[in-house]
């Protein structure tokens, strides 16, 4: 099979490279061709439009920043929808609104009834993407999932099928809801300890020695102490996902005060820190 991959940003770059490491025949497209240089060197074919990727690939994977970016790729002149025909598999691995994912499924079916669609958002940031240890959540056409699992396993350490769309989007949002709240707790604790005058390294060591120890605290806590805010999981994407969680809680009438509070905190620092890592919430809480 020929695989198409659209979106070579922080995550998609490494995901596509992992496919190439496994000798996959890969067509790629990115708005900025410069980002595809390494992929082309390793054997990928760069195509000039999403339409061409759809026409020349059996499976097309999207890894984009948000629903607007997905819409720009799908619709319009030379968009992916224009290239659909026959039994194509479209896999959106971007994190988008559940309602938009369901609408996307219908749009693809109307345009090409024989085509199949999966939503497959991923859990993990730049390092797991590079190491091929993402967790991939899939929902949609089961036949598409069965045909795509081998490729998912090249990019992730665990793949789970959840049934109908948008169950994978729901689970991704809930995962990031919990992560955002936990990140806020770490940032608040480190902010308080700094004001009190405690040694950051001792606080970091104690937090990671007890019941709270977890990989995110180990990585993000160290980055905060080292003043390292290079984007692994961008601040703006965490705020986007928390906003999804707030809206989802409202839709299902779930009282989620912690989600609303941490989302408002991310909004507060959005303009200044949006392109830094999500752990820059620490800077947002201490910004004067």
Average pLDDT over residues 157-166: 98
Q: Are 126 and 201 members of one domain?
A: no
Average pLDDT over residues 152-172: 98
List the catalytic residue out of 51, 130, 172, 283: 172
Q: Are 174 and 161 members of one domain?
A: no
Q: Are 260 and 123 members of one domain?
A: no
Q: Which of 228, 182, 220, 222 is nearest to 200 (CA)?
A: 222
Strands 89-92 and 116-119: parallel
Q: Are 147 and 178 members of one domain?
A: no
Q: Which of 213, 124, 107, 123 is nearest to 168 (CA)?
A: 123
**pLDDT of 153 over the 90 cut:** yes
CA dist., res. 274 & res. 226, Å (int):
19
Domain boundary among the residues 142, 165, 188 is at 165
Residue 206's CATH number = 1.10.1040.10
- What is the domain range of residue 239? 169-285
Question: pLDDT tens digits for 237-273?
Answer: 999 999 999 999 999 999 999 999 999 999 999 999 9
Average pLDDT over residues 6-30: 98
pLDDT averaged over every residue in the chain = 97
Total domains in the fold of the chain: 2
Q: Are 275 and 204 members of one domain?
A: yes
Q: Are 196 and 230 members of one domain?
A: yes
**pLDDT of 199 over the 90 cut:** yes
Q: Are 154 and 262 members of one domain?
A: no
56 part of the active site: no
Q: Are 38 and 61 members of one domain?
A: yes
**pLDDT of 171 over the 80 cut:** yes
pLDDT score at 134:
98
Q: Are 191 and 276 members of one domain?
A: yes
CA dist., res. 286 & res. 280, Å (int):
10
Confidence of residue 212 (pLDDT cuts 50, 70, 90): confident
Q: Which of 204, 216, 225, 229 is nearest to 280 (CA)?
A: 229
Q: Are 226 and 147 members of one domain?
A: no
Q: Are 129 and 214 members of one domain?
A: no
**pLDDT of 76 over the 90 cut:** no
DSSP 41-107: HTT-EE-SSHHHHHHH-SEEEE--SSHHHHHHHHSSTT-GGGG--SS-EEEE-S---HHHHHHHHHH
Average pLDDT over residues 88-104: 97
**pLDDT of 204 over the 70 cut:** yes
Residue 79's CATH number = 3.40.50.720
CA dist., res. 145 & res. 135, Å (int):
15
CA dist., res. 206 & res. 216, Å (int):
15
**pLDDT of 69 over the 90 cut:** yes
Query: Is residue 284 within 8 Å of residue 268, measured between CB atoms?
Result: yes
- Sign of torsion, CA 92 138 18 150? negative
On whether the pTM is more than 0.85, the answer is: yes
pLDDT score at 288:
59
Average pLDDT over residues 124-137: 97
Q: Are 129 and 173 members of one domain?
A: no
């Amino acid at each position: 099979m020929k695989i198409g991959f659209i979106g070579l940003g922080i995550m998609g770059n490494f995901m596509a490279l992992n496919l190439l490491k496994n000798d996959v025949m890969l067509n790629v497209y990115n708005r900025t061709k410069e980002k595809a240089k390494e992929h082309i060197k390793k054997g990928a074919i760069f195509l000039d439009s999403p339409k061409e990727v759809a026409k020349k690939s059996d499976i097309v994977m999207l890894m984009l920043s948000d629903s607007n970016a997905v819409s720009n790729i799908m619709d319009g002149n030379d968009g992916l929808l224009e290239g659909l025909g026959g039994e194509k598999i479209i896999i959106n691995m971007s994190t988008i609104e559940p309602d938009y994912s369901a609408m996307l499924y219908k749009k693809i079916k109307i345009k090409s009834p024989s085509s199949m669609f999966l939503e497959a958002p991923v859990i993990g940031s730049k390092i797991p993407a590079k190491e091929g240890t993402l967790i991939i959540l899939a929902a949609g056409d089961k036949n598409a999932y069965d045909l795509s699992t081998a490729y998912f396993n090249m990019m992730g350490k665990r793949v789970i099928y959840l049934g109908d769309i948008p169950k994978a989007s729901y689970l991704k949002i809930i995962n990031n809801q919990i992560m955002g709240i936990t990140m806020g707790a770490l940032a608040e604790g480190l902010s308080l300890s700094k004001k009190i005058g405690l040694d950051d390294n001792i606080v970091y060591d104690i937090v990671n020695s007890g019941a709270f120890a977890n990989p995110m605290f180990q990585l993000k806590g160290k980055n905060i102490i080292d003043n390292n805010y290079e984007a692994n999981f961008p601040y703006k994407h965490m705020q986007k996902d928390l906003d999804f969680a707030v809206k989802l809680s409202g839709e299902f009438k779930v009282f989620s005060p912690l989600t609303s509070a941490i989302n408002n905190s991310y909004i507060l620092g959005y303009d200044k820190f949006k392109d830094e890592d999500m752990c820059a919430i620490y800077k947002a809480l201490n910004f004067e």
